[in-house]
Amino acid sequence: MLLIPAIDLKDGRCVRLRQGDMDDATVFSEDPAAMARQWLERGARRLHLVDLNGAVAGKPKNEAAIRSILKAVGGAIPVQLGGGIRDLDTIERYLDAGLAYVIIGTAAVKNPGFLHDACGAFPGSVIVGLDARDGKVATDGWSKLTGHDVLDLAKKFEDYGVDSVIYTDIGRDGMLNGINIEATVRLAQGLTVPVIASGGAGSLDDIRALCEIEGEGVSGVILGRALYEGRLDFQQAQALADELGQPEV
């Protein structure tokens, strides 16, 4: 089970939001590159970046901070990024800068043809991010709820050739009240590509619960507020996941 620290970027700073609310942001660091180095030193095997301003604006807004993080990491571990990625030129620019994966969320739902083209142009480098409330997909920084069922959309995008699916339960994100295990398992069981859980992990019990469903196709979890508020020690949590997880092949 891969534990992936999140670095959410707003106005060039590392923040965390509650339930995606841009007006409810807590600043955790003024130096995102230093934060990235910190996670690297603590043994992180992948980093998850979000351009929050970009997600709202529909175009990159924290590119300078993202490039500084990529430079700080220096290719030692894969870095994935979501938020404001709406065209192939942006994807190419980020991958050329050292990004391993782009995460396409809103654009995938609104413009499936773009996701299809991206998977064709950059095979193995495209992750789809599906954010949902009560099983229905939300877009535009979670501000708009669609009528799309998560599993139906995920199956469609799997056929396009996405590397994996990040599934976020909006109602739990930043609230530290546990991952929606039931919904995450249901999605993973319906797909052949891996599912990365997101939203609500706040304790070692959550890590244990996720490790129990690793065999269903849940390959990792994105961790945010719990790490930054000290409720979860990353090294301890990853050690537990390694102990309980399936042997890597």
Distance CA 89, CA 85 (A): 9
Which of 228, 214, 237 shows the shortest CA–CA distance to 176? 228
Among residues 51, 131, 163, 173, the one annotated as catalytic is 131
Rounded average pLDDT over 36-58: 95
**DSSP letter (8 states) at residue 31:** -
Q: Does residue 239 carry a pLDDT above 60?
A: yes
Distances (CA, A) of 29 to 35, 36, 52, 81: 7, 11, 15, 18
CB contact at 8 A, 43 and 235: yes
Catalytic site includes residue 8: yes
Rounded average pLDDT over 25-44: 94
Higher per-residue pLDDT: 218 or 147: 218
Tell me the angle at which helices 32-41 and 63-73 cross, rounded to the nearest 10 degrees. 30
| 3 state DSSP class of 160 | helix
Per DSSP, what are the bridge partners of residue 21?
18
How large a percentage of the chain has pLDDT more than 70?
94
Which tens digit of pLDDT belongs to each residue from 85-142? 999 999 999 999 999 999 999 899 999 999 999 999 999 999 999 988 888 898 876 6
Rounded average pLDDT over 205-211: 95
Tokens 């043809």 locate to 113
pLDDT at residue 19, as a whole number: 63
CB contact at 8 A, 43 and 234: yes
- Residues whose CB falls within 8 Å of the CB of residue 222, separated by 6 or more in sequence, listed in order: 4, 5, 6, 48, 166, 168, 196, 197, 198, 199, 201
Catalytic site includes residue 131: yes
Rounded average pLDDT over 192-210: 93
| 3 state DSSP class of 28 | strand
Residue 213 tokens read as 């469903």
pLDDT band at 159; cut points 50, 70, 90: very high
Q: Does residue 172 carry a pLDDT above 80?
A: no
- Residues whose CB falls within 8 Å of the CB of residue 132, separated by 6 or more in sequence, listed in order: 138, 150, 167, 168, 169, 170, 183
pLDDT at residue 175, as a whole number: 60
Q: Does residue 194 carry a pLDDT above 90?
A: yes
pLDDT at residue 249, as a whole number: 43
Is the pTM of the predicted complex or chain greater than 0.85?
A: yes
Which of 47, 159, 169, 179 shows the shortest CA–CA distance to 108? 159
CB contact at 8 A, 91 and 85: yes
Q: Does residue 70 carry a pLDDT above 60?
A: yes
HSE, CB side, 13 Å, CA atoms: give it for residue 15.
Answer: 20
Tokens 């244990």 locate to 208
Mean pLDDT of the chain, nearest integer: 92
